[in-house]
Structures are given as C-alpha cells and as structure tokens.
Amino acid sequence: MTARAYALSDGNSFYCSCERVFDARLAKVPVIVLSNNDGCAIARTNEAKALGIRMGEPWFKIRDMCKAQGIRVYSSNYALYGDMSARVNAVYRDFSPRIEIYSIDESFLDISDVRERDRETLARDMRGTVRAWTGIPTCVGIGSTKTLAKLANHVAKKNPELGGVCDLTDPEQYDHWIIRIPVGDIWGVGPANARRLEALGCDSAADVRDLDTRVARKAMTVVGERLVQELRGMACLDLETVAATRKGCAVTRSFSERVEDIATMEQAMATHASRLGEKLRREGLATNHVTVFFHTSEHDRHRPQRSVSTVVTLPEATNDTLALVKAATHGVRRTWKGGYRYSKAGIVTTDLTPLAASQRALPGLGQLDREMGAALMEALDACNRRFGRGAVVPGAAGFAPKREWSTKFEMRSPRYTTRLDELPVVAAA
Amino acid sequence: MQIIDIAIGFPMPLPLLAKPVRAGFPSPADDFIEEEIDLQRLLIVNRPATFLVRVAGDSMILARLFDGDLAVVDRSLTPRNGDIVVVDIDGERSFKIWKRQGPRISLHFANPRFPEYRLAPDALVEIWGVVSGSVCARRRCE
C-alpha cells in the first residue's frame, strides 16, 4: 500500500472571520460570536483572545468587559456560516476530489496522490485561494494519518511564523514537532485520558507514540491503541466521505425567558416536534418513540429545581409532524407540574430507521395514514422552504408573535448571502 | 450555497424551442433542443467566489451601475483597467473605477457631477472584489 497523506484545513476563528468578510470595519478590532440564545462565547478573534475572553465564557459574565473594551459581539448567524462553509468546501474540492467535511469549519482532504515535495506548495496555494475567493483565513496541517494532520494543523495555528501551513509528512518537521506537542493537545485526548497517559509517563506526543500498544489499549481501550498507531503514521481512520446515516436527532432550545405555564411549554414542545419532523423528512428517516424533556436552570439556585424526561411511544415509526406534535404535547401533559421556572426544553429521538423500511402497525390498531400524511407534509415543507422556516406550523405551536421562547438573536448580523433583503449594502458615494 | 436562488428568485428556465411531438415524421427542430437559457450561469461564473451586494448611491452611474441595483462581485478576478471594484479604504467599503497607468494605480468615481476622487496618501487600500455583472430591475414591484 502506498503511503497516505491527509490535509486538515480549518477556518481561523471561523464565525468571526465570516462576520469580518462582510463588515470592513471589523478588520482589526476584537470580535466574538455567541452560542445559540447568546449563551456563551464560541468564537473569538486573536484580538479578543488577547483581551482575556476565554472559550465558552458565559455572556452575562463578560458583557460589561466587552462594552468597556470595545469588543464587537454577535449572536450566531448560522445561515451565513453555513453558506460560507459551503463555499470554502467548494474550493477544497478543486484541490482534492476526496474530502470529508468534519465540522462546519474543518475538513479533511486526501492528498495521497500529491508528490511529497509538492504538498506544502499545494497547501499554501489552497490557503491563498480560499482567502482570496471567500475572504476566510485558514490553517492547513498535513500528516500521513488523520491524527497527524490534526496535530500539524494545531502546530500551524500555534506558530504564526509557519505561515499557516505545517507538513508532518516531512520527516524533519515530524521529528521536530512530535516531541514538542503536549499530550493534552492530541486529537481525541480529553482531560481524563491526558491524566491516564501522563500517569504512564507520557509528556509529549512522541512519548505516546512510543508506548507499547498493549499498554495503550489497557489505559484507553482500543482507542488508545489506534492513537499510538496513528501517531506512528499507520492510518487507522480513513476519510468518511459519505455522511453517515443519522442514528439520532435532537431539537432542544433554552427559553429566552423562563416558562412557568403549561400552555407555553406545550407550544414550545410542539414547535420542537415540528422542527424534528422536518429534519427527519429531509433524510427519509422515521422514529417510533421520542424522548420529551424539560428542566429548570441551575443558575436559579435559590429556586426549586425540577428535571423531567419521558419517553412517548408511537404506534409505528413516523416522521409526520402532526403525529410527533401529538406525542410531544402528550409527554408534557403527562409530566407537567407547575410552580417551577423552566429554562430549557427539547425532544430527542434515537434508533432512527428509514421510513420506507420501517415496521408498520396493523390497520385500525394505530396504523397512520402515510399517504395522506406524506402529501400534507410535502405541502408544509414546500411552504416553509418558500416563505421561511416556521411560516406554516401546526396550530399547537401557536401563532408567530406568541412564540416568545424561540431562539434569541439579539445581535445577529444580516444573513448577507442567503436573503435578498439582507444583502450587504456597498456605498457608491 | 444558495446564492443562485437569491440571484433571481426561483430558477427560471426558458426553453429555446418547444413543440408538441407528433407521431410520424420527427420534427427536424427536435435536434436543436439542447439546453435552456440559464441566467444564473450567465451572471455567476465562479460560484464560491461570487457575492451579491446592493448598490447605494450615484457615484457609478456612468459605469451603468445605479442606486438600488444588485452588483455581482467575483472575488476570484484580478482587476483590469477600467473595472468597477469593491474596495475597502480605511475600513470603508465602496465602489470605485480601477485604473492603471504604468505602475500607478488610481481609483475614480464614474459620475461627472462628482469631484475627482482623491486618495489620502497614507490610506489603507484593499480590493474586496471585482464587479462582474449587475442586475437592474427595469420595473420595480409595486
């Protein structure tokens, strides 16, 4: 087998970089992006990091500081980030036909066919093209395994003098960096495993590489053995170029304000259920049971706490919104207790099956009318595609102005690339 | 990446030829039915690098870019003499005409009623993209 080579390319402070592409005034100033419902900081530019904003820091804790320091703060704009991600990946595809989109801002590329001495040039060319075409700055790491590519990417990110590219398939580079990377910075090694590896006397990635595979397996199961192999340059993980069929699906949201009455809770759950139905239908999947949950917030420490999770079984697998809404509101009614301030609710399914291949219930014993259901859902989805998500919802989800618990986007930038009425405006003056 | 849908609303295929097919002698015109005119392909050559922006102001009217138009901006193009560019000057984004004389590059308005554009000598200039097309609604929706 010929030696493989993988590149991992990812966007630097991706969400913040997306904001910067469309607002020229953000170029040199600190920028952060908050998670759903403005919970916490999930993307920071270097300027914001330098001011001490940590990853995952809750918004309410840094609000005053951001104001004082002039940090520009944005709610997440997933329509924009998703579109920019698709553009960046389209550029990657010009450089390698085999790519795995690992997350919204990270992709693995198979570059085994590129000659060793050309790999770094390719990576720099790709980086330059992505920057020019989309405006997004990236870093590229190259390695003979995915784990090493990820390590190389980490090195490129932490060492600006490398110009955003690090190639660990170059033996000299490999020997130089592998002894300098702490155990906790290796892909897939969380704090618990880092402690286990340190207990085995490992300080650096090189020490982990040199472990006896049996010792590694004992400490970290088969994952540890694979890690050692990958660090040695023996690929155990290939690209997942085809999106794996979903095993589960969840729709959960924090309320923008606490919910204390059952009507609002039922409305919220009905909306989550219809969103779930939409997601399942898009992939032709179905479920015959859903878990409905809601709970109070640990931030309300002085208040009574309650957490509910209940499984509602459906007569047969379905992705019909109306059936899912019925199940969801049933779950709420069955478990509701007033006197609490609920902060979050959601609906989760596991064991998804393709709708077409699922077991049917007997007619008259819970069998759903799939033909009529499918036609109705098709019309529903078409309306929502055309007029925007949530344009048509089951009555149980309530009328638009009343859906106060839907996601908070107080500081979201315009959806510059996907909405005609939100396009960037450029001055001709 | 749905920029296409945004460009001109829903795709609008315009059949070049459409004749009912009859039994018997095949229509000689059928051989010529090949493709449909796709306005999006006309406007957007390099999709990942192309962005739509709204024009605000009258400084480009001589270049036939009008207030309220949609400008199609391709970031993969290198400016050539006379191109309309989107340019960031000290953090302000605007349209300008890009001109080169020998090694000297200059930026201009395209409106006789505007004064000559003067660039501050220490200004930070970065080209954001080159305008490759525009969409001008001749009859606005009521």
Counting one residue from chain A and one from chain B, the pairs whose CB atoms sit within 8 A come to 90
Instruction: Tell which wins on pLDDT, A244 or B10.
Output: A244
**Confidence bin at B1 (pLDDT 50/70/90):** very low
pLDDT-derived band at A403 (thresholds 50, 70, 90) equals very low
The arithmetic mean of pLDDT across residues A393-411, rounded, is: 64
Rounded to an integer, the average pLDDT of A126-130 is 98
- Contacts with B77 from chain A: Cβ below 8 Å: none
- The model's confidence at residue B21, banded by pLDDT at 50, 70 and 90, is low
Q: What single string gives the DSSP state of each residue in A120-152?
A: HHHHHHHHHHHHHHH---EEEEEESSHHHHHHH
Distances in Å between the Cα of B27 and the Cα atoms of A420, B33, B113 are 42, 11, 58
Phi/psi of residue A82, each to 5°?
A: -65, -45
**Chain B: residue nearest A90 by CA?**
B48
Q: Which of A24, A90, A419 is facing B48, going by the closest CB pair?
A: A90
**What does the pLDDT read at residue A402?**
44
Q: Which two tokens stand for residue A309?
A: 């999770």
To test the contact with chain A by mutation, choose from B51, B88, B131 the residue with the greatest count of A C-beta atoms within 10 A, namely: B51
For residue A33, give Cα distances in angstroms to A66, A141, A405. Answer: 12, 25, 21
Q: Give the other-Cβ count within 10 Å of A189's Cβ.
A: 23
User: pLDDT: is A348 or B53 the higher one?
Assistant: B53
Q: Which of B76, B96, B99, B134 is an active site residue?
A: B96
Residue of B90, B93, B140 to mutate, interface with A, max A Cβ within 10 Å? B93
Q: Which residues have a Cβ under 8 Å from the Cβ of A20 and sit 6 or more positions away?
A: A26, A27, A31, A45, A135
Contact A364, A315 (CB under 8 A): no
Most confident range (mean pLDDT) of A70-79, A365-374, B76-85 is: B76-85
Average the pLDDT over each of A139-143, A193-197, A242-246, A358-362 and give the range with the smallest value: A242-246
Amino acid at site A158 = K
Q: What is the pLDDT of residues A57-108, one digit of tens each?
A: 999 999 999 999 999 999 999 889 989 999 999 999 999 989 998 888 999 9
Take residue A52 and report the two structure tokens written for it: 């001490």
- Smallest Cβ distance to B1: which of A83, A416, A429? A83
The pLDDT of residue A310 is 86
Q: Which of B59, B94, B99, B106 is catalytic?
A: B59
Contacts of A133 in chain B (CB under 8 A): 46, 48-49, 75-76
B59 catalytic? Reply is: yes
Maximum average pLDDT range among A96-100, A240-244, B33-37: A96-100
| Chain center to CA of B63 | 12
* Angle formed at CA A191 by CA A186 and CA A197, multiple of 5 degrees: 65
Sign of the C-alpha dihedral computed for residues A91, A97, A102 and A107 taken in this order: negative
Instruction: Give the CA distances from residue B52 to residues A244, A327, B128, in Å, rounded to whole numbers and listed in that order.
Output: 34, 43, 12
Q: What is the mean pLDDT of chain A?
A: 89
The predicted structure's pLDDT at residue A127: 98
CB contact set of A324 (below 8 Å; sequence gap of 6+): A273, A274, A276, A277, A290, A314, A318, A347
Packing angle of the helix pair A321-335, A262-282 (nearest 10 deg): 150
B52 → chain A, closest CA residue = A423
Q: Is A83 on the interface with B (CB under 8 A)?
A: yes
Mean pLDDT, rounded, for A161-185: 96
**Residue B52 backbone class (left: φ over 0; alpha: ψ -120 to 50; beta: rest):** beta
Q: In this model, does residue A1 exceed pLDDT 50?
A: no
Per-residue pLDDT tens for A293-305? 999 988 888 888 9
User: What span, in angstroms and rounded, lies between the C-alpha atoms of B72 and B7?
Assistant: 9
Residue B96 is among the residues annotated as catalytic for this protein: yes
The Cα–Cα gap between A186 and A188 comes to 6
- A114-123, pLDDT tens digit by residue? 999 999 999 9
A382 pLDDT band, cuts 50/70/90, is confident
Does residue A67 belong to the interface with chain B, where contact is any CB pair within 8 Å?
Answer: no
Q: What is the pLDDT of residue A22?
A: 97
A365 Cβ partners below 8 Å, 6+ apart? A315
Q: Taking the CB of residue A268, how many other CB atoms lie within 10 A of it?
A: 27
A400 token code pair = 């638009």
Whether the ipTM is more than 0.85: the answer is: no
Residue bearing the bigger pLDDT, A250 or B114? B114
How does residue A407 score in pLDDT terms, banded at 50, 70 and 90? low
pLDDT (0 to 100) of residue A30: 97
What integer pLDDT is reported at residue B10 of this predicted model? Answer: 41
**pLDDT value for A396:** 79
Q: Could you tell me if residue A310 is left (phi over 0), alpha (psi between -120 and 50 degrees) or otherwise beta?
A: beta
In A165-204, alpha helices (H): 171-178, 191-199
Q: For residues A142 and B42, what is the distance between their CA atoms, to the nearest angstrom? A: 38
Q: In this complex, which of A87, A417, A423 lies closest to B54 when CB atoms are compared?
A: A423
A145-154, A229-238, B15-24: range with highest mean pLDDT: A145-154
pLDDT of residue B34: 60
For residue A177, is pLDDT > 70? yes
